[in-house]
Amino acid sequence: MEAKIGVFICYCGGNISDYVDCERVREAVSKEPGVVVAKTFMFTCSDAAQEEMIADIRKEGLNAIVIASCSPKLHLQTFRNMARRAGLNPYTYVQVNIREQCSWAHTHHKEAATRKAIRLVRAGIAKARLSIPLEPIKVKTTPAVLVVGAGVAGMRAALALADMGLEVHVVEREKAAGGWVKKWARVFPSGRPGEELVNTLLKGFEERENIYLYLETEVVEKRGSVGQFQVRLKGPQGEQEVEVGAIVVATGFSPYVPKEGEFAYGASGVLTLQELHALLKRGIEGRFVYAGREVRNVAFIYCVGSREKEGHTYCSRYCCTAAVYLGLLLAERYPEVKQFHFYRDMRTYGKYEIFYHNCLEKGAIFLRFEPPDVPKVEVAGERFFIRVKDRLTGGEEVEVPADLVVLVTGMVLSPNENLVNVLKLPVGKDAFFNEVHPKLRPVETVIDGLFIAGACQGPKNIAESVTSGLAAAAKIGALLLQKELRLEPLVAHVLKDRCTGCGECVAACPYEALSLKTEDGKQIAYLNPALCKGEGACVPVCPEEAIEIWGYGHEQIRSMIQGLCKEDL
Amino acid sequence: MIQVDERLLERIAKDKDFNAQACFNCGTCSALCPMGLGLLPRELFRYVLLGARDRLRELSDVIFSCLLCRLCEANCPRGVRITHNIRTLRSYLVKDEYRIL
Ligand SMILES: Cc1cc2nc3c(=O)[nH]c(=O)nc-3n(C[C@H](O)[C@H](O)[C@H](O)COP(=O)(O)OP(=O)(O)OC[C@H]3O[C@@H](n4cnc5c(N)ncnc54)[C@H](O)[C@@H]3O)c2cc1C
Ligand code: SF4
Ligand code: SF4
Ligand code: SF4
Ligand code: SF4
| Ligand in closest contact with the CA of A493 | 3
Per the model's pLDDT, the better-predicted residue between A124 and B36 turns out to be: A124
Q: Which atom of ligand 5 is nearest to the CA of B65?
A: 7
Q: Among A130, A96, A93, which residue's Cα sits nearest to residue A116?
A: A96
CA distance linking residue B94 with residue B101, whole number of Å:
7
Per the model's pLDDT, the better-predicted residue between B35 and A203 turns out to be: A203
Is the pLDDT confidence value at A340 over 80? yes
Q: Which atom of ligand 3 is nearest to the CA of A539?
A: 6
Mean pLDDT of A168-197: 96
Residues on chain B touching A390 (C-beta within 8 angstroms): 2, 50
A360: nearest CA in chain B? Answer: B21
A387 at the B interface (CB within 8 A)?
A: yes
Which H, E and C letters describe A227-242, residue by residue? CEEEEEEEECCEEEEE
> Could you say which of A340, A360, A396 has the minimum Cβ distance to residue B2?
A396
Q: Please write the tens of the pLDDT for every residue from A188-221.
A: 999 999 999 999 999 999 999 999 999 999 999 9
Q: Which atom of ligand 3 is nearest to the CA of A536?
A: 1
Tell me, what's the pLDDT at A259? 94
**Inter-chain touch A393–B1, beta carbons under 8 Å:** no
Instruction: Output b/e per residue, A438-468; b: 16+ Cβ within 10 A.
Output: eeeebbbbebbbbbbbbbbbbbbbbebbbbb
Mean pLDDT of B5-28: 85
Residues on chain A touching B49 (C-beta within 8 angstroms): 365
A462 pLDDT band, cuts 50/70/90, is very high
Tell me, what's the pLDDT at A35? 97
Write out residues with Cβ below 6 Å of ligand 3. A 491-492, 508-509, 511, 513-514, 527, 532-538, 549
A365 at the B interface (CB within 8 A)?
A: yes
* Domains, chain A, with CATH or none: 5-134 (3.40.50), 144-252+414-484 (3.50.50.60), 256-411 (3.50.50.60), 489-550 (3.30.70.20)
Q: B13: CA distance to ligand 2 center in Å?
A: 28
> Could you say which of A363, A397, A401 has the minimum Cβ distance to residue B13?
A363
Q: Please write the tens of the pLDDT for every residue from A270-297.
A: 999 999 999 988 877 788 999 888 999 9
A420 pLDDT band, cuts 50/70/90, is very high
How far does chain B reach from its first CA to its final CA, in angstroms? 30
B38 pLDDT band, cuts 50/70/90, is low
Residues on chain B touching A296 (C-beta within 8 angstroms): 6
Per the model's pLDDT, the better-predicted residue between A246 and A512 turns out to be: A246
Tell me, what's the pLDDT at A361? 87
CA distance linking residue A272 with residue A126, whole number of Å:
66
A383 at the B interface (CB within 8 A)?
A: no
Per the model's pLDDT, the better-predicted residue between A569 and A336 turns out to be: A336
Interface test with A, best of B21, B30, B45 (most A CBs within 10 A): B21
CA distance linking residue A137 with residue A134, whole number of Å:
9
Q: B90: CA distance to ligand 5 center in Å?
A: 14
B10 pLDDT band, cuts 50/70/90, is confident
* Domains, chain B, with CATH or none: 6-97 (1.10.1060.10)
B83 lines ligand 4 (CB under 6 A): no
Mean pLDDT of B6-23: 84
Is the pLDDT confidence value at A177 over 80? yes
Least confident of A146-155, A359-368, B16-25: B16-25
Helix (H) or strand (E) holding A451: strand A450-452
B5 at the A interface (CB within 8 A)?
A: no
The percent of residues in chain A predicted with pLDDT above 90, rounded, is: 91
Is the pLDDT confidence value at B33 over 70? yes
Q: A491: CA distance to ligand 3 center in Å?
A: 7
Mean pLDDT of A133-160: 97
Q: Please write the tens of the pLDDT for every residue from A79-107.
A: 999 999 999 999 999 999 999 999 999 99
Summary mean pLDDT of chain A: 95
Tell me, what's the pLDDT at A569? 76
CA distance linking residue A153 with residue A465, whole number of Å:
5
Which H, E and C letters describe A384-412, residue by residue? EEEEEEEHHHCCEEEEEEECEEEEEECEE
B86 lines ligand 4 (CB under 6 A): no
Please indicate, yes or no, whether the overall pTM of this predicted structure exceeds 0.95. no
**Inter-chain touch B4–A398, beta carbons under 8 Å:** yes
| Ligand in closest contact with the CA of A512 | 3
Is the pLDDT confidence value at A160 over 80? yes
B36 phi and psi angles, rounded to 5 deg: 60, 35
Q: A508: CA distance to ligand 5 center in Å?
A: 77
**Type of residue found at A300:** F
CB A407 within 8 A of CB A271: yes
**Collapsed DSSP state (helix, strand, coil) of residue A419:** helix
CA distance linking residue A297 with residue A378, whole number of Å:
15
A360 at the B interface (CB within 8 A)?
A: yes
Mean pLDDT of B58-74: 91
Radius of gyration of chain B (CA): 13
CB A298 within 8 A of CB A292: no
**Inter-chain touch A363–B50, beta carbons under 8 Å:** no
Tell me, what's the pLDDT at A292? 87
A330 lines ligand 1 (CB under 6 A): no
Tell me, what's the pLDDT at A210? 97
A392 at the B interface (CB within 8 A)?
A: yes
Q: Among A473, A462, A472, which residue's Cα sits nearest to residue A151?
A: A462
Tell me, what's the pLDDT at A90? 96
Tell me, what's the pLDDT at B40? 64
Beta bridge partners of A9: A40, A68
Residues 297-336 of A with CB under 8 A from B: 297
Interface test with B, best of A296, A362, A393, A400 (most B CBs within 10 A): A393
The percent of residues in chain A predicted with pLDDT above 70, rounded, is: 100
Radius of gyration of chain A (CA): 31
Q: Among B20, B28, B22, which residue's Cα sits nearest to residue B52?
A: B20
Mean pLDDT of A159-187: 97
A393 at the B interface (CB within 8 A)?
A: yes
Q: Please write the tens of the pLDDT for every residue from A394-419.
A: 899 999 999 999 999 999 998 899 99
Q: A151: CA distance to ligand 1 center in Å?
A: 6
